[in-house]
Amino acid sequence: MMIRKFKILLSLFFVVSLFTSFQTVANPDPKDKILLTILKYVLTEGHYEPHEINDAFSERIYFDFLDRLDPAKRYFLQSDVDEFSKYKTQIDDQINNKDLTFFFTVYERFKQRTNESKNYYQEILKHPFDFSKDEILNVDYEKAPYATNKNQLLNVWHKQLKFSTLSRLYDKLTDEEDKKKEDASYVMKSINELEKESREATRIGMKESFERFDELTYSDWFSTFINCIAEEFDPHTTYFDPSVKKRFDISMAGKLEGIGARLQKKNDYTKVSELISGGPAWKQGELEVGDLITKVAQGDEDPVDIVGMRLDDAIEYIKGKKGTEVRLTVKKVDGTIKEISIIRDVVELEETFVKSSIVKKEGRTFGVIHLPKFYIDFDEKNFRNSATDMEQEIERLKKENVEGLVLDLRNNGGGSLQTAIEITGLFIDKGPVVQVKYRDRAPDIKKDKNSKIQWDGPLVVLVNELSASASEIFAAAMQDYKRAVIIGGKQTYGKGTVQSVLDLNRYHSLKEDFGALKMTIQKFYRINGGSTQLEGVHSDIMLPDRFTYMEIGERDLENPLKFDKVPQANYSLWNNYQNYDTAINNSKKRVASNHYFKLINQNAKWLKKSQDDTIIYLNLNEYKKDIENNKNESLKYKSIRNYTTNLTFNSPLYEKPLIESDKDLAEKRETWHKNLKKDIYVEEALNVLSELKIKPQHHLVKN
């Protein structure tokens, strides 16, 4: 009834808009006003934690929109911003009154400034750069002021183009030196020749970038403004215009071809935020979360500089057809520069499925199970899902008389809530697993209702800072029941919210496509009452890793929902370990005295320092020295990469005939087992597992 009444009001509003829209200076499309009306209605009525649309909300939209249009502060002048500032506390009133004056004022000025800037880069790049001059570029643009005049703006452009050219020049110099090493008779190109080539490559890159820029339509920029409003509610609430919605549907169906990585904007850079299990980048193994992509090249073509580029534009360069090569130049988290070649492909579903390995440790047998994702497929008649696969895998390992299990959930970004609940049920008697709460309602306690326990032996769960969502629900339940020891990163990702994609066309009766809104509608809570939001799951045994001191996870995003609590569910501890606390304390002592973990911790501190360093030297010698210093510093931690254990990993018996008949599978398992042998985290998880003792003839506590 509410939607039907809203449709009638919108139809009337549309007629009125047709007669009134021509009276405004910017002549907005009535459709835009209707979209704004629908968006406000859906967000305030349906979002888990609706914001009051007031002056404070208005100010946040104001700064966010300017930042999205001009993140590197190379278009707007301070005088422009001074002019815009009168709208700082008026945007809320404009949203309520379907008034788009702020958007049009900024948008029209933005078009003017970007057109002017096409002349800036061409003029600057006509002249050689002086790389002997002591000059720096600070890429922390959030703290940078806007230029007060055209000369200052040209200086901003000059420094950014100089850096782009310098990075190319350094690569070319390195190539020349390598050629000379290979062939002593090779005549190296002069620095002036290489500078000219590098400058020309920068010019071509800028020209192509502006060509892509010009392809963006008014609708693209209006969607940017709409998303400033939507994402103010929380970082997972996003508006999809009709074309973006189609791409989203394709990606959800798993048909999108590319490198298999999620990307986000970080200052002026495109940052890798997640690698998709089974995707090309995940399989290739060199690209990592936290890497900053600076250049993109198609096959043998020259690379395009994407620093300062809009995220959507950068993604267009990176994605592509199956079988094509993309070469990414990345700034690693340790500050070193690396080129990574990836052959684009579709995500390999087989790589997302449960797999296990048998490990021998001091004459005892244990199982390691890797779960990259909580998968389920409702479209397949006889669909595979992670819960039934996990149950089967445990049964197979039991036949090989394993004494304990390590369940590896590192980098598992989540998936199906249903399977997370069912997998929890494999390790406990029936009882509550997670609490799911809608806005203004009491929490709904989701339970495992099956009293069957598939595995009642020792269990260790391995997590890291990229274990998220359903992974956190499972790990939290195991921790709250004291069913397993949680070992790994300082804390998991901290995503405790649920989103739903709403078709906005259900809110009107017009012959227009208004797209969709992905909106946060629920929140997860542990059975102990605490939310997994922001806090995630804190490991019982914290193992230092490269992400320990970095800003990574939900807390690093803009506008995350807060951590809070609900009443605790009624549950009883598993209480069947003889030495639960002792095993944890022994591990903490081992970790504290372990040379490699100390080195990993020192490395993590250095990586954090490198991440916070926003100064780039524009003097060639200083630039080289900075890169060499980072390389030399990283060598101090080389032994971490060379670490190996004395453990032996093998495929379970059932898989051996499959490996013999499938060369591809054999290679994958061989690689996985080699990596497990070098994995200090798996080693310590197995140390804990080997110590855990179950009470003799234990009786499981009933809930």
Cα–Cα distance for residue pair 658/429, rounded to 1 Å: 34
Ramachandran category for residue 407: left, alpha or beta (phi over 0 → left; psi -120 to 50 → alpha): beta
Candidates 21, 198, 223, 469; catalytic one: 469
Q: Compute the radius of gyration of the chain from its Cα atoms.
A: 28
Distance CA 251, CA 202 (A): 33
Q: Residues 374, 353: contact at Cβ < 8 Å?
A: no
- Hey, is 358 helix, strand or coil? strand
The verdict on whether 448 is a catalytic residue reads no
- Tell me which of 480, 540, 545, 679 is the catalytic residue: 480
Within 13 Å of residue 127, how many CA atoms lie on the same side as its CB? Answer: 8
| Residue 539 is a catalytic residue | no
Taking the CB of residue 551, how many other CB atoms lie within 10 A of it? 13
Annotated catalytic residue 495 = yes
Separation of alpha carbons 608 and 548, rounded Å: 9
Q: 522: which DSSP letter? A: E
Tell me the Ramachandran region of residue 278: left when phi exceeds 0, alpha when psi lies from -120 to 50, beta otherwise: left
Cα 491 to Cα 547, 554, 695: the distances in Å are: 10, 11, 29
Q: How far apart are CA 210 and CA 310, in angstroms?
A: 11
Nearest residue to 417 (alpha-carbon basis) of 489, 477, 482, 334? 477
- In single-letter form, the type of residue at position 128 comes to P
Give yes or no for a contact between 416 and 389, defined as CB atoms under 8 angstroms apart.
Answer: no
Distance separating alpha carbons of residues 68 and 308, to the nearest angstrom: 11
β-strand partners of 298? 326
Q: How far apart are alpha carbons 532 and 525 in whole angstroms?
A: 6
Tokens of 653: 């018996």
What is the distance in angstroms between the CA of the first residue and the CA of the last residue of the chain? 42
- For 201-284, list the strands marked E by DSSP: 238-240, 261-266, 269-275
Give the DSSP H/E element, type plus range, for residue 365: strand 364-370
Residues 641-662 as b/e (b if ≥16 CB within 10 A, e otherwise) read: eeeebebebebbeebeeebeee
Could you say which of 361, 495, 545, 651 is catalytic?
Answer: 495
Burial 104-135 (b: 16+ CB within 10 A, else e): bbbbebbeebbeebeebbeebbeeebebeeeb
> In whole angstroms, what is the distance from residue 636 CA to residue 633 CA?
6
Strands 364-370 and 325-331, sheet pairing: unpaired
- Numbers of helices and strands, H then E, in the chain: 22, 20
CB of 444 closer than 8 Å to CB of 420 = no
Crossing angle for the helix pair 101-124 and 55-69, nearest 10 degrees? 30
What's the CA gap between 58 and 64, in Å, rounded?
10
Query: Which letter, b or e, does each residue of 577-603 get, where b requires 16 or more Cβ atoms within 10 Å of its Cβ?
Result: beebeebbeebeeebeebeebebbbeb
What distance in Å separates the CA atoms of residue 652 and residue 358, rounded to the nearest whole number? 6
| Catalytic center residues | 469, 480, 495
